[in-house]
Amino acid sequence: MKKISIAFFALTLLLAGCQEDKGYFLNGKISGIEDGKQVYISEYDAETNSTKAIDTTTIENGKFELDMEDQDLPKLSFLRFEGVNGNVIFISENQKISFDINKDSLRNTKLSGGKENKALSEYLNHLNEMNRKMVNMQQDMREAMTSRDTAKLASLREAQLELRDNDENFKKELFNRNKDSYLSVMLLTDMMKMRTLSSAEVREMYEGVSDRIKETPMGQNLKQTLEQFKAAEVGSKAPEFSGPTPEGDELSLKDNLGKVTIVDFWAAWCKPCRVENPNLVRTYNKYKDEGLNIISVSLDRPGQKDKWIQAIEEDNLEQWNHVSNLQFWNDPIARKYRISAIPATFILDENGVIVAKNLRGDALENKIGELLQ
C-alpha cells in the first residue's frame, strides 16, 4: 500500500506539472514593431491618478510574453510599446491574457482572457462603435448646416439623442451583468464623469457592487468621490463658504440666507451663463420682495477682476451679492459644490438645505414661486 501511495502521489505531481499555468500571464503577437523593442506594463495608481510602471519584456519573433505575479484584486493596467504612441488597456487578473495587436490600430486590439477582460472587451467595442457613429453623425450635421437642410438637421439631432439614450441603457445593462467585475466601478466612474447619471443614481448602483470590487483602489476612489458629491446633493445642507466681493469685503453664505437663496455659479467668459442671466434677473425682480436672495459665485480667471465687474454691470446683476476668488476652475467654493460645468444653480431653503439644483429659465422661476408660496 505504501508503494502505491507514493506512486500515486508522484503521478499527481507529474500531471500537475503538465497542466497550463492558471496564474497572471501575459502573451501576445504584434505587427508593425520590430523585434528587440520593449513592452512596458503599467498599472493605474489611484492615489496619484496616474500610471506606474511595474515590468517590461522584449518583442521576439513578433511576440511577447511575461509571467506576472498573481493578483489579490483586479487592477486597471496598460501595455505601452517602445517608439509607439498610445497604449492598450486591460485588467490584470489571475488568468492567461492574450493580445492580438497592430501598431497602427491599438484601440482595435483583440483581447482575450478571463471574465474581467471579456467584460472589458465588450465595453471597449461598444465605445469604439459609439465613437464611430458620433463622428459620422457630426459630419452629417455639418453638411446639413452648410446646406441649410433644417429638416435633416432636426432628424440628426433626434438620432443623436437616441444614440445617447442607447449608450446609457447599454452601460446600465452591462453593469447589471458585471457587479462582481472591475468593469462595474469603471462604468460608474465613467457615467458620473460624463454626467450620464447623477451622483445619487451612481451611489444607488454602487451599493450593488460586490464587496470584493469595492475594495479595489478604483472602488475606494469612487466611494470617496460619491461621499464628496453627497455634500452638494438635493436634501443635503449646502456647504458653507465665504469669499471676496468686488469691493474686497468678505461675504459668507450663512449671513446671507433668505427665505429662498440661489447660489449661482457663472463667469464673465461663459456664454451660456450670460444667456441665462436675463432669466435670473427676471426671477429676482419678481420674488426679491418675498424673500429671494441670490449669491453669484464667479469662476473668472486670475487677474481678470475687471472683466468680472464689467459683466456684472452689463448684465444688470448689481442687485444681489457677488463673490469670486478669481481662480477659474480651482475656485475653492466651486470645489466644495463639485462644479464641473457652468452655469450651475443651487436653490436653498431658509435653513440652507439644497431643495433643487440646475434649473433654468421658466423652470427656475416656477420653482422659486412654488417655494415662496
Count of structural domains within the chain: 3
Q: Which domain holds residue 101?
A: 18-112
> Which residue type does 139 have?
Q
Radius of gyration of the chain (CA): 28
If asked whether residues 186 and 284 sit together in one domain, one would say no
Q: What is the pLDDT along the chain (373 residues), one digit of tens a residue?
A: 334 344 333 333 333 444 444 589 999 999 999 999 999 999 998 778 889 999 999 999 999 999 999 999 999 999 999 999 999 999 999 999 999 999 999 988 999 989 999 999 999 999 999 999 999 999 999 999 999 999 999 999 999 999 999 999 999 999 999 999 999 999 999 998 887 888 889 999 999 999 999 999 999 999 998 988 888 888 889 999 999 999 999 999 999 999 999 999 999 999 999 999 999 999 999 999 999 999 999 999 999 999 999 999 999 999 999 999 999 999 999 999 989 889 999 999 999 999 999 999 899 999 999 999 8
If asked whether residues 269 and 365 sit together in one domain, one would say yes
- Cα gap 96→113, rounded to integer Å: 6
If asked whether residues 326 and 367 sit together in one domain, one would say yes
For residue 235, being part of any structural domain is answered with no
CATH number of the domain within which 51 lies: 2.60.40.180
For residue 5, being part of any structural domain is answered with no
If asked whether residues 248 and 222 sit together in one domain, one would say no
Residues 252 and 241: beta-carbon distance below 8 Å: yes
If asked whether residues 248 and 331 sit together in one domain, one would say yes
CATH number of the domain within which 339 lies: 3.40.30.10
Residues 6+ apart with CB under 8 A from 269: 300, 301, 307
If asked whether residues 252 and 321 sit together in one domain, one would say yes
pLDDT of residue 22: 55
Polymer length of the chain = 373
If asked whether residues 205 and 144 sit together in one domain, one would say yes
For residue 207, being part of any structural domain is answered with yes
If asked whether residues 272 and 312 sit together in one domain, one would say yes
If asked whether residues 52 and 125 sit together in one domain, one would say no
For residue 353, being part of any structural domain is answered with yes
Residues 6+ apart with CB under 8 A from 96: 20, 21, 22, 25, 27, 113
For residue 296, being part of any structural domain is answered with yes
For residue 11, being part of any structural domain is answered with no
For residue 87, being part of any structural domain is answered with yes
- Cα gap 263→261, rounded to integer Å: 6
Residue 90: in which H helix or E strand, if any?
Answer: strand 88-92
If asked whether residues 108 and 187 sit together in one domain, one would say no
Domain end, chosen from 68, 96, 112, is at: 112
Domain end, chosen from 112, 147, 169, is at: 112
Query: Does pTM surpass 0.85?
Result: no
If asked whether residues 328 and 217 sit together in one domain, one would say no
Domain end, chosen from 59, 84, 112, is at: 112
For residue 355, being part of any structural domain is answered with yes
Hey, is 349 helix, strand or coil? Answer: strand
Hey, is 250 helix, strand or coil? Answer: strand
Only one residue has cell 493578483, namely 71
If asked whether residues 96 and 150 sit together in one domain, one would say no
